[in-house]
Amino acid sequence: DIIRTIRDPEKPNTLEELEVVTESCVEVNEIGDDEYLVIIRFTPTVPHCSLATLIGLCLRIKLQRCLPFRHKLEIYISEGTHSTEEDINKQINDKERVAAAMENPNLREIVEQCVTEPD
């Protein structure tokens, strides 16, 4: 429910409407007392999607802000759905790269537009 309303950076649709994320792409496993591992596998609309890293960043930021429990978060591109999935998976799961990306005012503004709940 948290990620279904994230908007695509290029289109007026949500990631759910575009089938970039679906309920079946979310996995939650308990890894300790009140601690969970959340794994998201998203599918870009095309194998050469230039905004796949940005979509992963939006997923990460929204979940970090909204999950009401302690968690470890892993976000991946669904296997075989993007031409540079390995590189993108490394970027969106690297805390330092995520922090650096969110320091960029232009990038931060785009992420905020995508993750802000519609009225």
Q: What is the pLDDT of residue 108?
A: 95
Q: What is the pLDDT of residue 119?
A: 66
Does pLDDT of 26 surpass 90?
A: yes
Residue 67 lies in a domain: yes
Q: What is the pLDDT of residue 68?
A: 81
Domain at 55, CATH number: 3.30.300.130
For residue 1, give every residue at least 6 positions away whose Cβ sits within 8 Å of its Cβ, in sequence order, or none: none
Q: Model's pTM, two decimal places?
A: 0.93
Residue 1 lies in a domain: no
| Structural domain that includes position 86 | 23-112
Does pLDDT of 104 surpass 80?
A: yes
pLDDT digits (tens, 9 = 90+) for 49-86: 889 999 999 999 999 999 888 899 999 999 999 999 99
40, 3 in Cβ contact below 8 A?
yes
* Position 3, amino acid: I
What total of structural domains would you count in the chain? 1
Residue 61 lies in a domain: yes
Residue 13 lies in a domain: no
